[in-house]
Structure 1
Amino acid sequence: MTTIQFLPPSLDFVNKLVEVVWDHLTLPVVLALVAGILIVDICGLYILLLLVTHTPRPETESEKEYITVTSDGTKKGGIKLPDMLDENVFPEVLMSVVVPAYNEALRIEMMLDEAVEFLNSEFPRDGEKKKLGNGTANGGVNGSAHGVEDWGRRKGWEIIIVDDGSKDATTDVVVEWMRKRVKKGEVKEGDLRIVHLERNRGKGGAVAHGMRHIRGQYAVFADADGATKFSDLRTLLSRLQAIESTRVSPTTPPYDEHHGIAVGSRAHMVNSSAVVARSWYRNLLMYGFHTFLHVIGIQKIKDTQCGFKLFTRDTARLVFWESHCEGWIFDIECLLVAEEERVGVEEVSVTWHEVEGTKMNLVWDSVRMAWDLVVLRAAYGIGVYGGIRRAWRKGNGKARQM
């Protein structure tokens, strides 16, 4: 056996140690060492992943309540929000709109003007909800949602503004805006609900919070800056209904779940003046981000980050049940869960324009997004994320055990 040459006399024991090891280095020993090293490495990586993964803080009691404006213009707060994770809470309106808002006092009114005008024309409140069957929680007829009401006959809409711990007067601005619209009869009490988070969560955390308290059969989240034309929701809903699928829930007794996502997309605008005119480093980061997504396996959706995505109620429950990403890449977590649950996803071109006043720090947030993507992909890949949802899907738990 070759020994280590040129060792000083004081280190001769190293050669003697090498000789002893070499004499005992048989194939079974080598295989055992390799297996041991692999096990230690895997356990170490798993523990490291547990340390770096993110667990959102629990909702506080005040965050489970909302503010609205009554018919006489009075601001009214402390009203309990519905819990979408409760299987006995059924949808009351056709469309819910969740708007995450952080320091949006200067931009949110224009978005609300456009949104309410469209919602009133597209999803009017005319007609009462028609009761079918015996009105019990399950076992309904004609494709009913949890067996209570005809899935296709709900009317009306709601907007949930999630004030993500704003430091400006975002909530006050929305309240004043609502007072004017209530007086004109354009908005009724409870149509627009303001939820104030005690501490900033991030865009993803604000969206997830709002989605967990919707009343709608469908739910869309939209940015407060109004960058996307709200009337495109009509196309998203049409395309979603075209791919919407039904499966049986694991509850006792079971009910029909309705699943699908329509993803607003700006991919068709990649060569438009709105994109080309942007600074070179913003476009460089955009292309780099898309390349990175492709490398880690997210290849079906061309534009994952457009802030305009529509969900069926049951899909929103699964996607936002235990969502972990509270930052900018929460959209990708939505798509990963949809892929795991085999939910149909349709990408739909939308009208979009650049709006000044972004809250994103391009360099720092790009680095953070890259890191979060790696952690997210690894956490779902080895099962660190999604355990509660998967247990429920197997019939081993209930939504209330969130």
Structure 2
Amino acid sequence: MATTTMTVFPPSMEFVGTLVDGVRENLTLPVVLAVVIGILAVDVGVLYILLLLVTHTPRPETESERHYITVTPGGEKVKGRRLPEVLDEEVEAEVFMSVVVPAYNEELRIEMMLDEAVEFLNQEFPRSASSEKGKKGWEIVIVDDGSKDRTTDVVVDWMRRGVEKGLVREGDLRIVHLERNRGKGGAVAHGMRHIRGRYAVFADADGATKFSDLRTLLSRLQSIESTRPSPTNPSKTEHHGIAVGSRAHMVNSSAVVARSWYRNLLMYGFHTFLHVIGIQKIKDTQCGFKLFTRDTARLVFWESHCEGWIFDIECLLIAEEEKVGVEEVSVTWHEVEGTKMNLVRDSVRMAWDLVVLRAAYAVGVYGGVRRGWRRS
């Protein structure tokens, strides 16, 4: 004989019993499913709103940041000249190679980088009409990221000497001074939006990477470079590809092994975290030496969000989303003293930024402006 369990409430609480009985009578499977779906929808909505609150919002360019400083043949410093806009698809490349250098308080290291870079660029991409296969001309765009030292003045002095020696011409080397510090990613993105080159590489101001490795990056990029019609102008052809400088081959070298144990621990931890969240194809995402075609630079930096250390990973995520080929290339690298990173603080910040970045692209918070532009 079946037994029925009854809940007995005191007279003053009989309304509770009536309410419970009513719930039992109406607690059908469709009702339960509707309640569960409603709760999930609310949770997803709350999480989406929280994600919107913590996503990265880049600072817009100011009017002064759209102009550059250079030196005339007479050694005079001139400023206020307008930068070109790579986001304007109608603007054609004026030189073969652009080099974007983010610089923050680099007065002690940037001259050595310029010595090496200009010597290589003059040899590899001369301005003469006989340049190999159209590899004619170059530029360096130094983005002074709100430095508190004499970085800009040091570069201007170097330019004066370079002009006098015939190493550079007016406009070959341009300085863009940001009014406030934006971070390495913000400085690189700003420079990449104002290049004149058919190809563009960004390189660190400390000269940690050997500049002649750009020759290998270019060769490997051209071997995977793909073409497609422009979605905004089908009569034009876009050229896409990225070559990523990599130090992965040096993991077991003396240069890395000799570093402090906690630096190596953080390095391995970061790589493991990248693997877990799905960044698995590129072994070294953080090397500051990456080469883009002009069209890919426009595509990647049209709507980049991260202005800190992990901006490199956003570049690779956009490339994956847009089906742009990426080639990893081993480069020569040596550690240079004077890093701007605080290992513990910046490692925690990078981990947090990675989670936000991955989530924002996964649910569509990021990418809308770029996709809208591509469809227009």
* TM-score of the pair, normalised by structure 2: 0.95
Q: CA deviation at 1:103?
A: 0.4
| Residue aligned with 2:32, SS | helix
**C-alpha RMSD of matched pairs (Å):** 1.9
Aligned ranges for residues 14-25 of structure 1 at < 5 Å?
17-25=19-27
- For residues 355 and 3 of structure 1, the distance between their equivalents in structure 2, rounded to whole angstroms, comes to 77
Moved more, 233-242 or 245-254: 245-254
CA distance in 2, matches of 1:2, 1:305: 65
- The one of 79, 84, 87 aligned to 2:86: 84
AA of the residue aligned to 1:371:
W
SS in 2 for 1:210: helix
Are the equivalent residues in 1 in contact too, given 2:126–2:135 (CA < 8 A)? no
Amino acid at match of 2:269: G
How far apart are the structure 2 equivalents of 1:192 and 1:265? 26
Deviation at 1:388, TM superposition (A): 1.5
The change in CA–CA distance for 1:15 and 1:374 in structure 2 (over 3 A counts) is: farther
Secondary structure of the 1:360 match is coil
* Greater CA drift, 62-71 or 40-49: 40-49
Report the equivalent of 2:333.
Answer: 352
Secondary structure of the residue aligned to 2:280 is coil
**Alpha-carbon offset, residue 88 of structure 1:** 1.4
Partner of 1:315: 296
Spell out the pairing of 1:237-252 with structure 2 (5 A cutoff).
237-252=218-233
1:195-344 to 2 correspondences below 5 Å: 195-252=176-233, 254-344=235-325
Provide structure 2 residue ranges, at least 5 long, that are not aligned to the other structure. none
* CA shift in 2, pair 1:9/1:167, >3 Å: farther
Name the residue aligned to 1:183. 164
Report what 1:140 is aligned to. Answer: none
Q: What stretches of structure 1 of length at least 5 have no aligned partner?
A: 130-150, 397-402
What secondary structure, in the 3-state scheme, does the structure 1 residue paired with 2:134 have? coil
**Identical columns (%):** 82
Distance in 2 between the 1:152 and 1:387 partners? Answer: 38
C-alpha separation in 2, matches of 1:381 and 1:4: 48
The 1:350–1:12 alpha-carbon spacing in structure 2 relative to 1, beyond 3 Å, is farther
| Equivalent-residue separation in structure 1 for 2:27 and 2:370 (angstroms) | 47
Residue aligning to 2:116: 114
Distance 1:10 1:94, change over 3 A: farther
- Residue 47 of structure 1: how far off its partner (Å): 1.1
Return the TM-score normalized by structure 1.
0.89
Q: 1:21 to 1:193 in 2, by over 3 A?
A: same
Deviations 1:293-339 (A, max 9, x none): 00010100000000000000000000000100000000000000000
1:65–1:23 Cα change, 3 Å: same
